[in-house]
Structure 1
């Protein structure tokens, strides 16, 4: 957002608001010098007004955004833990029958997954040892992909890329100075690390929407939502108006999640219920990552940040 500059007039008695002549005396080449009747300038003015209104009305919620985002991100891991515990025999049967896990190894696999997900989720929510919690949850994502044989499932792969993006947002939010966090990059400062992790997180978050575009039957409404959503995803990835495009995706994905992944409307005995519940909580995790992006901003490697420099 462009800075607002108040130019004071010299008061009586010889007072000067800029006694040391630090102000730039050159004429401004910014928005005020542009043609007010230009449609592009009108669009910029409208966008600036929208940003101001969003800032004003979102202020009461802003202090709570990090906690909301973190809780939503780990939602899919908490749900998965509950699913394993309540469907213990079914999980063992699948691993032993279809994945050919030996008896005993399947038990250890499930127990370690549940313990890691619960401890990692607790660390992320409480913001205590969040980095280790994120590392454990990333390990669960990778191990489950191979353990359940879903590595080559495109929809699963894209969704989990987005979940990893959400975890990277948590990692960036929790990052603090550690001298040996990267032994191979001893001169890399904390701010530099945040830039790269935020960039990776932004890019990975949008893969859920890419999966939405690639699957399902096409219609006029689906085409319209896909075009608008893809534009917002590109804006998030490059960091252009990233906060507002991420906020737009939060709204779109939340509406989509409630009306499409409405697992609560399916009978408990129906096999589709579990699939919809899985998609619902994974989408919530990605919404949580986008909420953290709204709170933190896109970081240094973004168009928004470059606009402040040039």
Structure 2
């Protein structure tokens, strides 16, 4: 015996097959992404930027688990180098503070000892990711103390560089809030953990770019320097407002790394030359700022950014 299943047809239907009997299909042209004009230069730039950003994500995928640790080490490397320099040049540092900065005997010793202890302790805590919020406060205090103690607070280059270093420290603090998932300071009840993260990320992004601004307006000008400065300032603006911030940060990491190797090449200068210490200082400070940018690549620009707003609208 053969059984047969009958399928009831809707009233008024013809005998032929209807692919969409319930009218779910939509033959109208889409007004969304597919309707974008492919010949529009802004659309082409957006597609290119998205491709570059995707490629950066692919290329950095093997390094992503290690990026935060690498970034934290680079951020504090200038403090580690500075503490080593103070210890190895202890008598010279004392002579400078007492002779040129008029520190009383004993106060100069205490000033240097506090700086070394804070830098070593704070750097170790940042690398180990323990008490990072207190470590960033300690290292920021060192930056301020040295600016006042060595009389460099009105030196524009020093000022801009140290603003960028403090931006890197703010990125460390933001990363602590980002990964911890709870408030870092219970004494600030008016701001939630999410709000603190957004504001610290914004402040860190803005401060990080001051190093490149100082580089752009320092030294002799040339066509190549003008081109690099314009492109770099454009990338800095993108970082500050949070537009394609990961792409712009990755670009600045490459530019600053190349610049650092070729311009601050302290290893090519004789150890007795006074310029060597200045170049070494600039080299390690630039590494710290590169570390802050790497953290930005890892975490993203945060809530107060164009990239985040584009997800909402």
Q: Please, what TM-score do these two structures have when normalized by structure 1?
A: 0.89
State the alpha-carbon separation in 2 of the partners of residues 295 and 255 from structure 1.
Answer: 21
Match of 1:171 in 2: 173
Q: CA-to-partner distance for each residue in 1:94-144, whole Å, 9 max, x for gaps?
A: 000000000011001101100110000000000011111111101100111
Counterpart among 221, 224, 236 of residue 218 in structure 1:
221
Match of 2:135 in 1: 133
Pair 1:308–1:177, CA change in 2 (3 A): closer
Task: Please state whether the residue corresponding to 1:226 is helix, strand or coil.
Answer: helix
Give yes or no for the alignment of 1:269 onto 2:269: no
Counterpart among 133, 152, 155 of residue 153 in structure 1:
155
State the alpha-carbon separation in 2 of the partners of residues 84 and 67 from structure 1.
Answer: 26
Match of 1:288 in 2: 291
Q: Which runs of 5+ in 1 are unaligned?
A: 1-20
Pair 1:136–1:28, CA change in 2 (3 A): farther
Matching of residues 62-73 of structure 1 within 5 Å = 62-73=64-75
Offset at residue 27 of structure 1 (A): 6.8
Pair 1:177–1:307, CA change in 2 (3 A): closer
Match of 2:10 in 1: none
State the alpha-carbon separation in 1 of the partners of residues 266 and 245 from structure 2.
Answer: 31
State the alpha-carbon separation in 2 of the partners of residues 192 and 198 from structure 1.
Answer: 10
Pair 1:41–1:140, CA change in 2 (3 A): same
Aligned residues: 288
State the alpha-carbon separation in 2 of the partners of residues 288 and 65 from structure 1.
Answer: 9
Offset at residue 29 of structure 1 (A): 3.4
Offset at residue 55 of structure 1 (A): 1.7
- RMSD over aligned Cα, in angstroms? 1.9
Offset at residue 189 of structure 1 (A): 1.0
Q: Which runs of 5+ in 2 are unaligned?
A: 1-23
Matching of residues 2-21 of structure 1 within 5 Å = none
State the alpha-carbon separation in 2 of the partners of residues 206 and 279 from structure 1.
Answer: 15
Q: Is the 8 A contact 2:183 2:193 kept in 1?
A: no
Give yes or no for the alignment of 1:242 onto 2:238: no
Q: Is the 8 A contact 1:95 1:101 kept in 2?
A: yes
Q: Is the 8 A contact 1:77 1:117 kept in 2?
A: yes
Give yes or no for the alignment of 1:108 onto 2:106: no
